Chains A and B, each alone.
Chain A
Amino acid sequence: AQSVTQLDSHVSVSEGTPVLLRCNYSSSYSPSLFWYVQHPNKGLQLLLKYTSAATLVKGINGFEAEFKKSETSFHLTKPSAHMSDAAEYFCVVSATSGTYKYIFGTGTRLKVLA
């Protein structure tokens, strides 16, 4: 069975400092992993995805994530936070075969302090 755990429900960083949002996954298949961002009352926007290619994945807005199979992790990072990064972030796992159902993590709310 697939599952995804976001280890922090809230993260606060100062503007200009690094961002780390943690995600661990469990999958009986070779997983596809995604990070989505949701701004208040908006839909979800894809930040980046891992689908068995390069383990370090670069996404939009300076975000990147590294797939570590040995640690079953897919943490999201950004070198320098911007005020506009304040939002809810979801780590998502999907099987690469089968139903293509997405399993969402519980989300991490990122707060960026001026």
Chain B
Amino acid sequence: GAVVSQHPSRVICKSGTSVKIECRSLDFQATTMFWYRQFPKQSLMLMATSNEGSKATYEQGVEKDKFLINHASLTLSTLTVTSAHPEDSSFYICSARVSGGQGSGANVLTFGAGSRLTVL
């Protein structure tokens, strides 16, 4: 089945530094990937839709200069948290859509294992 790999799983950084999180589709091509943020004991909030070869589409209230998304290939999207602050500490999860056809995987999002960011 479709697998999405997310790295790193955990990262601790100092306030003011930038952190990059990678999301890879391992056995399929993903023209669209999605980035979510999850606060403790809360649901997932969509941050942005990452489109291969074009600019990401950000949800209302998400700072695009703070959360830089690059989707340079059909199998890789990256989220960079720039000048991180403690309030950016969260669990970030990426997902990719297995698109096309009427098979069991159609229109299903496959999620990465998540990245827990802690900003000191």
Give every chain B residue within 8 A of A105 (Cβ-Cβ): 43
Chain A positions 22 through 44: 1 when the CB is less than 8 Å from some CB of chain B, otherwise 0: 00000000001010100001111
A34's nearest neighbour on chain B, judged by CB, is B108
Give chain A's interface residue range (CB within 8 Å of chain B). Answer: 20 to 34
- Total inter-chain residue pairs, C-beta < 8 Å: 53
Choose among A41, A96, A102, A107 the residue that contacts B109 (Cβ–Cβ < 8 A): A102
B107, A90: Cβ atoms under 8 Å?
no
Q: Contact between A107 and B43 (Cβ–Cβ < 8 Å)?
A: yes
Q: A residues 27-65 with Cβ under 8 Å of B?
A: 32, 34, 36, 41-46, 49, 51
CB-nearest residue of chain B to A4: B43
| Contact yes or no, B107 A94, CB < 8 A | yes
A41 to B49, CA, bound (A): 23
Q: Determine if A3 is an interface residue (Cβ-Cβ < 8 Å).
A: no
* Bound CA–CA A94/B111 (angstroms): 15
Could you tell me the distance between the alpha carbons of A106 and B38 in the complex, rounded to whole angstroms?
Answer: 11
Q: Choose among B6, B46, B106 the residue that contacts A43 (Cβ–Cβ < 8 A).
A: B6
* New A-B contacts (18) at CB < 8 Å, excluding given A34-B109, A43-B111, A46-B109: A41-B91, A41-B116, A43-B4, A43-B6, A43-B114, A44-B95, A46-B110, A49-B108, A51-B107, A90-B44, A94-B107, A100-B32, A100-B109, A101-B34, A102-B34, A102-B46, A102-B109, A104-B45
Interface residues in chain A, defined as those with a beta carbon under 8 Å from any beta carbon in chain B: 32, 34, 36, 41-46, 49, 51, 90, 94, 96, 99-102, 104-107, 109
Between-chain CB contacts (< 8 Å), 14 pairs: A32-B107, A41-B114, A42-B113, A43-B93, A43-B112, A49-B108, A51-B106, A96-B107, A99-B49, A102-B95, A105-B43, A106-B42, A106-B43, A109-B41
Interface residues of B (CB under 8 A from A): 4, 6, 32, 34, 41-46, 49, 91, 93, 95, 97, 106-114, 116
